[in-house]
Every structure is written in structure tokens, then in C-alpha cells.
Chain A
């Protein structure tokens, strides 16, 4: 089997240092909406200077290079065991080259492993076999600040007056945005999963963040809720970094899952503005980076 370690290292470098174009475009649009001379506008201007600089220097956009989350879609014939080894070697090398901060800390003994390799689950890797002959590896880096402001609701929630329907989901998500204030590095992107169990719901709320900004759920009801939530979140005026301002959320993405009759979970994953996700595709000998 082909050794992709160097190609995966390049994927990590790109993900950590080069913000995807769809995110950068939204940030550039957001600057224009803030008052000249305001702290909110100043924050966005600094963010954009940083985006340019990180790309030029191949240095991390954010020093918190986050939890590395890999999604690997492989055609029949690839060994997931070997791919996992290659991903882990690439991650250790990326850490040595300062593309990544050593981020894996043993929760019991407080020891940082120094190379971003924790137990079996750090980095997190999801494998799925697909038809065809293309292998794709997607990587998302999700920082701890925004991860900490994620929330899960079990509906009904009497405090919010949120029942087990989309109106209740809306209330839960708006509450999560308010509670996050600027602490998840606003302006953020919301990944929302409705249903599932506590575990699958949170996982899907992150997975949905791999899609493009502006891509709407094919279900018109959910597409409408996505747009409404982005608009109403921005009405709260929390603004970039929580300084107060017009842009708090850049986009909202919702996924609907199956649930048990007894459970109705709403999971909100908050992604910071440093929305780092990249993809590589292996087609025969060729490796293409998005």
C-alpha cells in the first residue's frame, strides 16, 4: 500500500496555516458591516491580517491547533491500520515542525505527550469505506476555547420554554449562542445535531461542520431554520470577540438524526472563526488538495 505520510503532513500544514476561502470570504464581508473605529471592526481587521500572515509563513493561524479530527473515506483495498499509522506519524512530524502545538494531555496525570499522540483516540480518526477508486482525507482542527462553549440540551427544557419540536430547537440554539458570548472566539459557526444519543449527537454536530459555508440542508424546513438562527444570533449583538457588534455567527448548519422515543437531544458545536478544515483526494498517483 502507498505511503501517504508526507502527503498527510502537507494536509496538516495547510489546515493549520491556511484558512479555507469560504471562511475568509465571510470574514471579509463581516468587516464591512462593523462601524469604522469600533473594537469589533479592529478585531476583524487583526484577524484578517493574521490570516494573511499565517498563510505566508506557514505558521498556525491559532496557537491552539485543537483536536485533530480526521475523516477518511477509502475505497476497497486500503488498510485502515496502515493509514492510521501514517496519520499518526505525520501528526508527530507536524508537531516537530511547529505546524501543530503539542496538545495531547493525559487527563489523569496531567502529562503532555509532546507529540500530539494521545491514546488510541488522539488524533480522532473516522474511517468509512466508499465505492469508486478515490481516497479522501478530511481534517478539521477544533480549538479548545470553542469546544468548551458547545452545549447539549435534552428537550423539553422548561427553563427555556423549549418543547420537542423545531421551535424548541431554535430556543436551545439561541441560548447556547448567548451563553457562549465571545468566549468561543466569535464570529463562530454553529453545528447543530437534532436527535441521536448523547454521543452520536455531538459527533454529528461536528461532522456537519465539514460542509461549505452557505450550503443549506436539503430539507427546506431545516434550511429555513439554519438561516433564521444565523440572523437571530446576530441580532443579539455579541459581536466579534464579544466586544459588541453586528457579526456573532457566520453560518449555521443543522443535521437531523434518528432518536429514541424517550430522548430529544439538541447538540450545539460552536466552531471559532479560525474554522480550519481541509481535504486531500488521492486519485491514482495524483494527490489533490482543495
Chain B
């Protein structure tokens, strides 16, 4: 088991290979569908003009995300009334929905990885090689267990996206993940997809 703390250096990323079990510690943010679309349209492609506190949030995010990771997660959070936030349940959501955005978001913010489940496609894999970054796979549905590794919620941006879609700034300790896409072009998902396709083809002619 490797222990890695954010911010992460490029050397540490290059050392990671598909199959490595890792425990992550440090600051990161959650972000999923609405956040990736918002980042892409407002700051990367600039097809939408910044509104409200967009620019202020962007400046904060640039600092936090440089060398860190985005966690694809829509948590259950308690303390919404008092703003004494606590993560109650916080497993990963399916990452592939961010495939159109992820590589660009990685490069723009110098992410060293994303955490999610189900893996991602060729465009993100190429982004992992270029940035460099890796895909960390968390255990889908292990929500109470992962919530325990979130030791502090530092704050939240874009609450107007709703609790699951907001940007939660969190500090984690020993968050367990597995590298399933690395910065050398390796992808466990591509390997399993291909191997299972061969078996499927055999089954279909049986």
C-alpha cells in the first residue's frame, strides 16, 4: 500500500502503475457533472460568460487543485442548517459521464488525478499521459466507509448546483483507492473490456 499526500508531484505520478493500491491524504475537492460542465464552458472553452461568484471561485479552485485531485462524488452531508458540515456518506459516482471534459479539466488545473468509479475512456487516458495524472478507482457504494476518511469539510462552493453537485472542499486521511489508469497509457478498464469481449463473442456463437 502506497501513501500519497496532496499536492502530488509529477515524479510520484510517474511511479504509479495500474494495480497499485494507494491511500490518499490531504486536500481535494468534489466535482461531478454540473461542475465539469461549468468549468469547461466558463473557463476552458469560454462559451459562457462568468456570472455571480464564478471568477472568485475559479481563483480559489486554481490554488486548491494545482497538484491535487477532483473526486467524482455527490455526498450525503449533515449540518446543512448550521453549516457545521460533515460527510455522512461519500462513495464515488460513475466517472465516464465526465469523459468529454476530463482531459481538458486535468490539464487546465494541473490535476494529478481524479477519483471515481467505473473508469474512463481513451481521451482521459491520453490526458493522463500528457498532464501527467492518474485515475484512482474508489470502491463504488462504500459510502459510509469512505465518509470516515473525510476528516474535515473546509467549505463548499456552488451550492446552487444542489448538495450532490456542489464543490465540497475536503481534507481526507488514508482514503483507499486503486490506480486503474496510469500516466504510461495503462488502463485496467481497457484490458477487462477487451478480455470480456472475447468471452462474450464465444458465448454469442454457442
* Interface: A92 (CB within 8 A): no
Chain A interface residue count: which class? 35 or more
B141: contacting residue among A236, A242, A272, CB under 8 A: A272
B55 within 8 A of A: no
A182 and B21 contact, CB distance less than 8 A: no
CB proximity to B under 8 Å, residues A173-226:
174-175, 178, 181-183, 185
**Contacting A236 at CB < 8 Å: which of B19, B96, B162, B199?**
B199
Task: Give 1 or 0 for each of B145-169: 1 = CB within 8 Å of chain A CB.
Answer: 1111000000000000111110000
Pair B142/A236 contact, Cβ less than 8 Å: no
The reply to whether A182 and B118 form a contact with Cβ atoms under 8 Å apart is yes
Asked if A101 meets B89 with Cβ closer than 8 Å, knowing A49-B145, A112-B165, A272-B140, the reply is: yes
Q: Are A174 and B203 in contact, with the CB atoms below 8 A?
A: yes
**Residues of the B chain whose Cβ atoms lie less than 8 Å from the Cβ of A111:** 162
Interface: B193 (CB within 8 A): yes
Q: Which residues of A contact B199 (CB under 8 A)?
A: 235-237
Q: Which residues from 167 to 206 on chain B have a C-beta closer than 8 Å to any C-beta of chain A? A: 176, 178, 180, 188-189, 191-193, 195-197, 199-200, 203-205
Residues of B within 8 Å of A273, CB to CB, are 141
Q: Which of A51-59, A121-129, A254-262 binds B? A: A51-59
Residues of B within 8 A of A175 (CB): 200, 204
Given contacts A178-B196, A181-B118, A182-B118, contact A101 B164 (CB under 8 A): yes
Chain A residues whose CB sits within 8 angstroms of the CB of B73 once the complex forms:
63
- Most interface-central of A60, A64, A105, A274 (chain B CB within 10 A): A64
A43 adjacent to B200 (CB under 8 Å): no
| Cβ A102 vs Cβ B162 within 8 A | yes
* Contact between B203 and A232, CB atoms less than 8 A apart: yes
When chains A and B are docked, how far (Å) is the Cα of A53 from the Cα of B142?
10
Closest A-chain residue to B176, C-beta based? A46
Whether A242 touches B192, Cβ cut-off 8 Å, given contacts A39-B19, A46-B142, A181-B118, is: yes
Instruction: Decide if A156 is an interface residue (CB 8 Å cutoff).
Output: no
Q: Would B196 and A241 count as touching, CB distance under 8 A?
A: no
- Among A175, A238, A239, chain B packs the most CB atoms within 10 A around the CB of A238
Whether a CB of chain A sits under 8 angstroms from the CB of B31 is: no
Residue of B nearest to A273 (CB): B141
List 18 extra interface pairs beyond A49-B145, A145-B93, A243-B178, CB under 8 A. A39-B188, A53-B144, A53-B148, A54-B143, A54-B144, A60-B88, A63-B73, A63-B74, A101-B75, A111-B162, A171-B204, A183-B118, A237-B195, A237-B196, A238-B192, A241-B118, A273-B141, A274-B141
Interchain residue pairs with CB less than 8 A apart (13):
A42-B178, A49-B142, A49-B145, A54-B89, A59-B88, A60-B144, A65-B76, A98-B76, A101-B89, A110-B161, A145-B140, A241-B140, A274-B141
